[in-house]
Amino acid sequence: MARRRAWRSANKQAHPDGTFTEIADGAPIGFQVPCTQAAELRALLAFRGTAVALLHAEAATAEDTPQTERLRTGLGHRYDGYLRTYGPLNRFSLRRTGRADPATGEPVMARVAPTPGGFRGDPHAPPVYAPGSYTHLTLPTSAPRNMTGVPGTFIYTTGSR
């Protein structure tokens, strides 16, 4: 329980009344999220909760347990829902920078990622964004189904078990 309390003490939280808080100096303070970003932030916070719970469950034992299987299934469902609704976790758009590549003359483009409610600054954002990692040539096409099976890792695999 102490471990669960520790991770909850340093991040964003969504509340049933539609508000959001963030822990600052050990106390929750409210913060405003644009209406256009609130639903996505809620989805990311739910995904984060499941991902962190799975990390803790896998760190507790090297064996698969009914709890880890439930969490993996839940994580996969959350990812599928997110992907259907918002697209890939690490999606981005391209914008012109106004510069050109000196060797090719092609315009230099910058990647612009959405920032739903400032979630990227959450201390537990890395395990959320890990399953959406991809190169600029590929996009994730299926949900993460399980961690690597190595306790404490943030690496996800795709496909069914």
Where is pLDDT greater, at 148 or 26?
26
How many other C-beta atoms lie within 10 A of the C-beta of residue 49? 21
Question: pLDDT confidence of 7, banded at 50, 70, 90?
Answer: very low
Average pLDDT for 97-103: 94
In a domain, 32, yes or no: no
Say what the pTM is. Answer: 0.72
In a domain, 28, yes or no: no
Residue-wise pLDDT tens digits, 34-89: 999 999 999 999 999 999 999 999 999 889 999 999 999 999 899 889 989 998 88
In a domain, 8, yes or no: no
Only one residue has tokens 């990622």, namely: 113
In a domain, 128, yes or no: yes
Residue-wise pLDDT tens digits, 131-155: 655 444 444 444 444 444 333 333 3
In a domain, 104, yes or no: no
In a domain, 83, yes or no: yes
Q: Which domain holds residue 56?
A: 37-91+111-155
Per the CB < 8 A criterion, the answer to whether 22 and 9 are in contact is no
- Whole-angstrom distance, CA of residue 122 vs CA of residue 125: 5
Provide the domain count of the chain: 1
In a domain, 130, yes or no: yes
Does the pLDDT at position 92 exceed 50? yes
Average pLDDT for 22-35: 88
In a domain, 49, yes or no: yes
Does the pLDDT at position 29 exceed 50? yes
Q: How far from 113 is each of 15, 60, 101, 110, CA to CA, in Å?
A: 25, 34, 22, 10
